């Protein structure tokens, strides 16, 4: 409520702003990019290997009347990461309203088989790269009074036994979000979404899916659009920062 008792709404108008979505050429990243374009954002769609998917996202955005471009980069390569940031600055005119750190490593490694390489891969792509991008584009985010939204995971709160490196790296990402929310305030908001059973990995047997479904209070799996809508909500609401929004059908409470 406002000081005079009237209801007020704190919302950012995304129309005509620019969003960068990493890993935006497929699956969850593509759904997020599509939703941001629908909300009015021009798009920089980053991809690593999904060039065809990224171009399809670009074409869908253009059909909505948005400006859009795709940029290929190996995010683990410092030079290519810098080039992505340079291309984003050029495209956005120095103002970036939404940075979605979506690209990530999702690798099943039994703890007894853990090696330095698998650990380092998870930490680099899931925590270090979002840190580098967020800090590297901080001036552009401040210029737009924008936001960074990270795609974390409910495993950051309840780690998965055969995804220890992944779970730890996503927990680090959550703490990065909370730390940067303080460091970047009041000009930039920093939040995360934490998907649960959304886009279940291929290869699960039906009995495995049934067991997993029974652990979800809402009794069903989510889909990419559920997460994309949450990203748009956090992008538009300019009185939320330092928060992690679980998109998991209630699984994390049980």
pLDDT digits (tens, 9 = 90+) for 151-208: 998 877 876 777 788 888 999 999 999 999 999 999 999 999 999 877 776 677 888 8
Q: Could you give the CA distance from residue 141 to residue 162 in angstroms, rounded to a whole number?
A: 36
Q: Please tell me the pTM assigned to this model.
A: 0.91
Q: Which of 224, 94, 220, 216 is nearest to 151 (CA)?
A: 224
The structural domains of the chain, with segments of one domain joined by +, span: 18-248
Report the relative pairing of strands 68-72 and 98-101 from DSSP bridges.
unpaired
Chain position carrying tokens 């129309």: 15
What positions carry a catalytic annotation? 166
- Neighbour tally for 221: CB within 10 Å: 17
Mean pLDDT computed over 45-56: 97
Question: Which top CATH class is 18-248?
Answer: alpha beta
Rounded-to-5 percentages of helix, strand, coil across the chain: 45, 15, 35
| 31-69: b (≥16 Cβ within 10 Å) or e | bbbbbbbebbbbbbbbbbebeebbbbbbebbeeeebbbb
Q: Please give the backbone phi and psi of residue 117, each rounded to the nearest 5 degrees, phi first.
A: -65, -45
Per-residue pLDDT tens over the stretch 204-231? 788 888 888 888 889 888 899 999 999 9
Q: Name the DSSP letter for residue 93.
A: T
């Amino acid at each position: 409520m406002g000081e005079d008792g009237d209801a007020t709404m704190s919302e950012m108008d995304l129309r005509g702003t620019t969003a960068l979505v990493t890993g935006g050429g497929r699956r969850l990243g593509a759904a997020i990019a599509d939703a941001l374009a629908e909300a009015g954002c021009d798009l920089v769609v980053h991809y690593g290997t999904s060039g065809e998917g990224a171009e399809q996202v670009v074409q869908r955005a253009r059909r909505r009347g948005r400006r859009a471009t795709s940029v290929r980069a190996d995010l683990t390569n410092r030079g290519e990461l810098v080039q992505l940031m340079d291309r984003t600055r050029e495209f956005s005119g120095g103002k970036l309203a939404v940075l979605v750190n979506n690209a990530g490593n999702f690798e099943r490694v039994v703890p007894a088989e853990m090696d330095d390489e698998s650990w380092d891969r998870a930490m680099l792509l899931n925590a270090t790269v979002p840190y580098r991008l967020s800090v590297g584009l901080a001036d552009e985010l401040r210029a737009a009074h924008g936001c960074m939204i990270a795609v974390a995971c409910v495993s950051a709160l309840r780690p998965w036994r055969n995804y220890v490196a992944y779970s730890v790296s996503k927990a680090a990402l959550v703490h990065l979000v909370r730390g940067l929310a303080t460091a970047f305030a009041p000009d930039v908001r920093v939040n995360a979404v934490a998907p649960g059973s959304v886009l279940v990995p291929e290869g699960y047997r039906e009995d495995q899916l049934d067991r997993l479904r029974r652990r979800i209070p809402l009794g069903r799996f989510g889909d990419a659009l559920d997460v994309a809508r949450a990203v748009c909500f956090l992008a538009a609401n300019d009185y939320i920062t330092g928060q992690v929004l679980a998109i998991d059908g209630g699984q994390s409470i049980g």
